[in-house]
């Protein structure tokens, strides 16, 4: 990492300590590359990190980590220090049956062998405006979330049913993207399994919708919060439009983790806020006791996330907090103070992004203020 960037990082979120505020002590000098594109890239140039990191312990004891592009792939190893890329795709456009691009956004496994996944699928993009009528000022970007399953520890996934959708057609003259675009990881709580799906578009509840399931292996069981209860099947576009977006979470949530010591949930996202009179961008966090009532987002670490600073040579994205010693097979709990911030760093040349994208791991100690 460039020394100028290290010098610019804020190692604390703010100067005040409101209730439920956390202290993050980062150790950038100890950061490591879990995937170094310049040295470990595969022959297929589309096998790159382009999504939040998701990890689970396989039935054979190995760790599987993915941070997928539309050619989905994984890294495996006996430990976090021995993770190596597997250049054999786990799911690709041909697996959709319609040559569509889809990114694995979440995985969950009970036994380490059978794995459920949720994928963000592009039904329409400007370069391929199927399901959309192109026009001036129209963004032909339509997306939904579908499920997939693996029975071989995540080596290969087969396509399943749609889990969340705003419909399979773009509304006429929609000025911006439309649909369900991303999900957080899947995390187990006291009353079931939960995840956040991000909806966007005209006439939709723009924001993160909270979904609950009794069994993440069955995609038909996901139900979204309607403001009073988990009643909405988001596979039905009419019900999806009634979803109650979570207050305070105004950007896609990249991970949710349970903090046993604080008895709080912690969500991570990329955004910007005015802090001490300065527009500050980076990785932010919010906490909640019940996954429905969230604190205002606060700065976790300042970072170049929008490539808006002159001279920056990289952009950070997809912040995820993972405890490598988590008691959970799916790493959704932060059981220890010392954990890892895992994110994707994309190299830029001038104003243009490159295929050079690394998966970065940075140690961080989390404590309550």
- Whole-angstrom Cα distance, residue 152 to residue 86? 14
Q: Residue 147 and residue 283: Cα distance in Å, rounded? A: 28
Determine the average pLDDT of the residues in 294-317.
Answer: 89
Residues 152, 279 share a domain:
no
Is residue 270 included in any domain, yes or no?
yes
275-290 pLDDT per residue, tens: 999 999 999 999 999 9
**Tokens 């290290």 belong to residue:** 6
Round to whole Å and give the CA distance between 316 and 303. 7
Q: What is the DSSP string of 194-217?
A: EEEEEEESTTS--EEEEEEES-TT
Cα gap 316→314, rounded to integer Å: 7
Q: Is 70 left (phi over 0), alpha (psi -120 to 50) or beta?
A: alpha
Looking at the structure, tell me whether residues 241 and 261 fall in a common domain.
no
**CB-based contact 149:116 (threshold 8 Å):** yes
Taking the CA atoms of 36, 39, 41 and 45 in sequence, report the sign of the dihedral they define. positive
pLDDT of res. 227: 93
Distances (CA, A) of 99 to 103, 121, 211, 330, 365: 13, 11, 28, 30, 43
Would residue 78 count as lying in a domain?
no
Lowest pLDDT segment from 154-163, 238-247, 303-312: 303-312
Distance CA 358, CA 36 (A): 5
Boundary-marking domain end, from 190, 223, 245: 245
Shared domain for 169 and 291, answered yes or no, is no
CA atoms within 13 A of residue 355's CA, in its CB half-sphere: 13
* Closest by CA position to 34, among listed 320, 367, 329, 334: 320
Residue 22 pLDDT exceeds 80: yes
The pTM (predicted TM-score) of the whole model is 0.92
Judge whether 98 lies within some domain. Answer: yes
**Max CA pair span of the chain:** 53
The answer to whether residue 336 is domain-embedded is yes
Measured in whole angstroms, how far is the alpha carbon of residue 79 from the centre of its chain?
22
Q: What is the pLDDT of residues 46-104, one digit of tens each?
A: 999 999 999 999 999 999 999 999 999 999 999 999 999 999 999 999 999 999 999 99
Query: Rounded to whole angstroms, what are the CA distances from 74 to 69, 115, 118, 204, 254?
Result: 10, 13, 15, 33, 18
Whether residues 238 and 308 share a domain: the answer is no
> What range does the domain containing 192 cover?
92-245
Question: 166 with 260, same domain?
Answer: no
CA-based R_g, the chain, Å: 19
58 domain-assigned: no
Let me know whether 97 and 43 are in one domain. Answer: no
> Same structural domain for residues 201 and 265?
no
- Mean pLDDT to the nearest integer, 187-210: 92
Model pLDDT for residues 347-363, shown as the tens digit of each residue: 988 778 899 999 999 99
Whether residues 102 and 124 share a domain: the answer is yes
According to the model, what pLDDT value does residue 134 have?
84
Band (311; pLDDT cuts 50, 70, 90):
confident
Based on the fold, state whether residues 241 and 256 are members of the same structural domain.
Answer: no
Q: How many Å apart are CA 328 and CA 187, to the nearest integer?
A: 10
Nearest to 298 by CA among 2, 91, 10: 10
- Mode of pairing for the β-strands spanning 142-150 and 178-183: parallel
Over 80: is that where the pLDDT of 176 sits? yes
Q: Rounded CA gap, 237 and 164, in Å?
A: 8
Q: Are residues 127 and 240 in the same domain?
A: yes
- 268, β-bridge pairs: 255, 285
Q: How many domains does the chain have?
A: 2
Identify which of 323, 270, 336 has the alpha carbon closest to the alpha carbon of residue 301: 270
Looking at the domain assignment, is residue 18 inside a domain?
yes
Q: 130 and 198, same structural domain? A: yes
Among the listed ranges 1-15, 178-192, 306-320, which one has the minimum average pLDDT value?
A: 1-15
Please say which residue of 230, 245, 260 terminates a domain.
245
Q: Does any domain span residue 87?
A: no
**Is residue 354 a part of any domain in this protein?**
yes
Q: Which residues pair with 284 in a beta bridge?
A: 269, 299
- For residues 330-347, give the mean pLDDT: 97
| Rounded (10°) CA dihedral 14, 17, 18, 20 | 100
Distance from chain centroid for Cα 19: 26
The sign one gets for the Cα dihedral 271, 350, 47, 100 is positive
8 Å CB contact between 35 and 57? no
Point out the domain boundary residue: 245, 274, 296. 245
Q: Are residues 98 and 241 in the same domain?
A: yes
Beta pairing, strands 278-288 & 32-35: unpaired
- Beta-carbon contacts of residue 16 (< 8 Å; ≥ 6 apart): none
């Amino acid at each position: 990492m460039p020394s100028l960037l290290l010098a610019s990082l804020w190692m604390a979120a703010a100067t005040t300590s409101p209730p439920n505020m956390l202290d993050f002590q980062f150790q950038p000098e100890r950061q490591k590359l879990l995937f170094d594109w310049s040295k470990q890239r595969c022959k297929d140039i589309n096998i790159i990190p382009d999504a939040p990191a998701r990890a689970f312990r396989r039935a054979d004891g190995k760790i599987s980590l993915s941070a997928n592009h539309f050619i989905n792939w994984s890294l495996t190893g006996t430990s976090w220090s021995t993770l190596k890329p597997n250049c054999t795709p786990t799911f690709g456009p041909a697996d959709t049956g319609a040559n569509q691009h889809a990114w694995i956004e979440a995985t969950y496994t009970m036994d380490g062998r059978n794995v459920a996944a949720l994928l963000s699928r592009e039904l329409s993009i400007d370069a391929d405006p199927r399901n959309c009528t192109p026009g001036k000022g129209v963004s032909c970007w339509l997306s939904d979330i579908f499920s997939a399953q693996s029975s071989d520890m995540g080596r290969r996934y087969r396509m399943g049913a749609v889990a969340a959708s705003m419909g399979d057609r773009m509304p006429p003259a929609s000025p911006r993207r439309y649909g369900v675009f991303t999900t957080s990881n899947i995390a187990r709580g006291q009353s079931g399994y939960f995840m956040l799906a991000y909806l966007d578009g005209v006439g939709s509840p723009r924001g993160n919708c909270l979904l609950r399931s009794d069994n993440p292996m069955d995609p038909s069981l996901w139900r979204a919060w309607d403001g009073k209860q988990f009643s909405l099947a988001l596979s039905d576009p009419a019900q999806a439009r009634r979803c109650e977006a979570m207050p305070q979470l105004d950007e896609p949530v990249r991970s949710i983790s349970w903090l046993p010591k604080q008895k709080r949930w912690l969500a991570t996202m990329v955004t910007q806020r005015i802090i001490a009179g300065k527009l500050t961008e980076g990785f932010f966090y919010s906490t909640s006791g019940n996954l429905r009532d969230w604190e205002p987002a606060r700065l976790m670490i300042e970072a170049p996330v929008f490539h808006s600073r002159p001279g920056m040579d990289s952009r950070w994205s997809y912040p995820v907090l993972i405890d490598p010693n988590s008691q959970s097979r799916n790493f959704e709990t932060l059981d220890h103070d010392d954990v890892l911030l895992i994110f994707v760093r994309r190299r830029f040349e001038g104003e243009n992004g490159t295929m050079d994208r690394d998966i970065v791991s940075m140690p961080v100690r989390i404590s309550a203020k």
